[in-house]
Amino acid sequence: MKFWLTLFVSCSILFFQGCSSDKKGENEDKNMSSSETLKREKITLNDVDGKAIIVTSTEKGFTFSGFENKVILVNFFTTWCPPCKAEIPHLINLQEKYKENFVIISVLLEENKSNEEIQNFMKFNAINYIITNGTENFEFAKNVGGVKNIPLMFLYDKEGNYSTHYVGAIPEEMIDADIKKVL
């Protein structure tokens, strides 16, 4: 019984903390909300269908070309991360619920994944939101302050201003409440 309790607690901690790529244990929350760390004014992210999304830094956040006047949830993730996979149904629900005024842009942080592989992943998981793939994803991750743990999400209001961020698996209701605040 003690073994199962220990196993359950360990798995729960991993699930709610997220997957870490931080080998040195540095402070992950080092000014993540500031666009001041953006080294370039603009970065072009490409979705798996080849559509370009130009991300422009602003004083208080970022704007995303083609998604003006929409609330944006940027989701940094990998396909191998259990908490990242667990949040997919919740993100699907939120995208469907707020589809007129809200967009999820998932930024894949994996090297050497083809767009075809990601499209198959999207089809298998019935994903209804955007996934970007490419080397610029890593540049964007650095420029938002660094991504040490995944999943990591940033919420921006309709003007592109930073609203909040989430580290690890977050209850859908919490994200839903924050979306309603910025709609």
**The pLDDT of residue 41:** 77
* Helix ranges, 18-159 (H): 82-97, 115-125, 135-143
Structural domain contains residue 15: no
pLDDT category, 19, cuts 50, 70, 90? low
Structural domain contains residue 6: no
Distance CA 107, CA 77 (A): 6
Residue 120 confidence (pLDDT) above 60: yes
Whichever domain contains 47, its CATH number is 3.40.30.10
E-strand stretches of the chain: 19-20, 42-46, 52-57, 62-64, 71-77, 102-108, 130-132, 149-150, 152-156, 162-167
Q: Which two tokens stand for residue 11?
A: 């798995």
Structural domain contains residue 136: yes
Structural domain contains residue 55: yes
Q: 76 burial class (0-12, 13-18, 19+ CB within 10 angstroms)?
A: buried
Average pLDDT over residues 22-44: 49
End-to-end CA separation in angstroms for the chain:
47
As for how many domains the chain has, the answer is 1
Give the list of residues 6+ apart from residue 123 with CB closer than 8 angstroms, or none.
none
**Axis-axis angle for helices 82-97, 172-182 (nearest 10):** 40
Structural domain contains residue 152: yes
Structural domain contains residue 145: yes
Structural domain contains residue 164: yes
| 109 or 22, which is more confident | 109
**The pLDDT of residue 38:** 42
Q: Which of 109, 82, 97 is nearest to 17 (CA)?
A: 82
Q: What percent of the chain has pLDDT over 90?
A: 76
Give the predicted TM-score (pTM) of the model: 0.81
Q: Are 111 and 141 in contact (CB under 8 A)?
A: no
Q: Which domain holds residue 160?
A: 41-182
Average pLDDT over residues 35-39: 43
**The pLDDT of residue 118:** 97
Q: Which of 9, 16, 12 is nearest to 167 (CA)?
A: 16
Structural domain contains residue 3: no
pLDDT tens-digit profile of 40-78? 579 999 999 999 999 999 999 999 999 999 999 999 999
Helix or strand (DSSP H, E) at 176: helix 172-182
pLDDT tens-digit profile of 103-113? 999 999 999 99
Q: What percent of the chain has pLDDT over 70?
A: 78
